Amino acid sequence: MQETKTLQAKMFGGLQIRVGDQCLVEKGGRVNKPIELLVYLLLNIGVQVSNEQIMEALWGDDEVENPAGALKNAAYSLRRLLTKAGLSQDCIITRERQYAWNPDVPVELDIDRFNELYETAMQTPGTPTETVVRCCRAALALYAGDFLPALSDRYWLMARASTLRQRYLSMVLHLSDLLLTGSDRTGAEEVMNLCSRALLLEPLSEDLYLRYFTALRKMDMKAAVLSYYPVVANMFLDEVGEPLPESVREIYRWAAEGANLPMEDIRHIQKDLDEITRDDRPIRGAYFCPYEVFKHMYHMVVRSATRNSEDVILLLVTLVPLEVPKQEMIRVMLAVKELIKNMLRKGDVFARYSRNQYVLMLSVKDTDDYKVVRDRLLSRYEKSGLSQNLRMQVTIGIPDPIV
């Protein structure tokens, strides 16, 4: 009797499917409709789904003249591919006139193993600490990147992808807390590595930065804290419109206490400024800066405008309502930042004012000139389709002259 082969699928960081020694889908390879059908069936083993649900998942709003025929062709191509790899022809069965994966054909999915490890480490009361640490490490090693990134826009995958990412982050934080309770340096080093990797996926996670900076403090790495903290703090102000939490700021104060920052001569200052601007050449679009810098530039621009008989206009761009998921607000605000930068002139300046606002400073010959900028900005935002939940408002302010 011929041994039944096992289909192995890895879905973290890209899709890879193997049957024995044969690779059906290379990691990072193209995912066509037969393979997408295979993914859908594998993720719904034991779940009753209709062919109509499969057609909606695979083609959605695509203009397909005969979805039922397209599904039949995809299933036929998939069966041929799997049979050629050595699986039995009945690995894709028709049950109650609906396609399904044959539960008798063995399957190994990395997400199943990941979820098993998560349940043991995080959801099983009384699990020994050594077992929790071992399971967390094994699960985090499996998470080689986000779940099926090539199919990230599929609605039927979004909830599962979000759940897997949250489980990954929960284990990173939990394992970090366990490692930081120890006294050895190795644990803190592992936390730095764990958080650095997780921050590539969640670059605006306050919880990850708290563990990362706590690990730096545990290793007495004051210079690293002083060097890295301003970068992170500015990023949060620019991207989120909020400061880092007090717990992280306290670690920075610990590192800064008694520190002597070296004084640079003018040649070093010039070199430093040169390095900052070199990557932005040629300069394109308006200048974006932190709000504290914006305030200083405002004073200079208003004085200059008075001498040149120009007017200075302030525009406050606001996205409303504020009661939307934080991640959606972050995503749309980042996109609006690029929209503003590319629309304004090189001499214009803007800054993040709050979580949902940008403030713009324009030098104009006539105060009515702001209407062109306002209307163009509103029009481009509406046409962009960035969010169905957020509406853009633009209000004007005319500063009093500085005598």
d(CA 156, CA 128): 36
110-256: what fold? 1.25.40
Give the pLDDT confidence score for residue 269 in this predicted structure: 46
pTM: 0.68
pLDDT at 42 over 80: yes
Q: Which fold has domain 32-105?
A: Arc Repressor Mutant, subunit A (1.10.10)
Instruction: Give the range among 100-114, 195-209, 258-272, 312-326 with minimum mean pLDDT.
Output: 258-272
Q: What is the pLDDT of residues 292-331, one digit of tens each?
A: 778 878 877 776 666 566 778 899 999 998 788 877 888 7
Share of the chain above pLDDT 70, in %: 89
pLDDT digits (tens, 9 = 90+) for 151-177: 987 888 888 888 999 899 999 999 999
Residues of the chain with CATH 3.30.70.270: 287-397
Q: Was domain 287-397 assigned CATH 3.30.70.270?
A: yes
Tell me, what's the pLDDT at 61? 67
Average pLDDT over residues 275-292: 62
Give span(s): CATH 1.10.10.10, the chain. 32-105
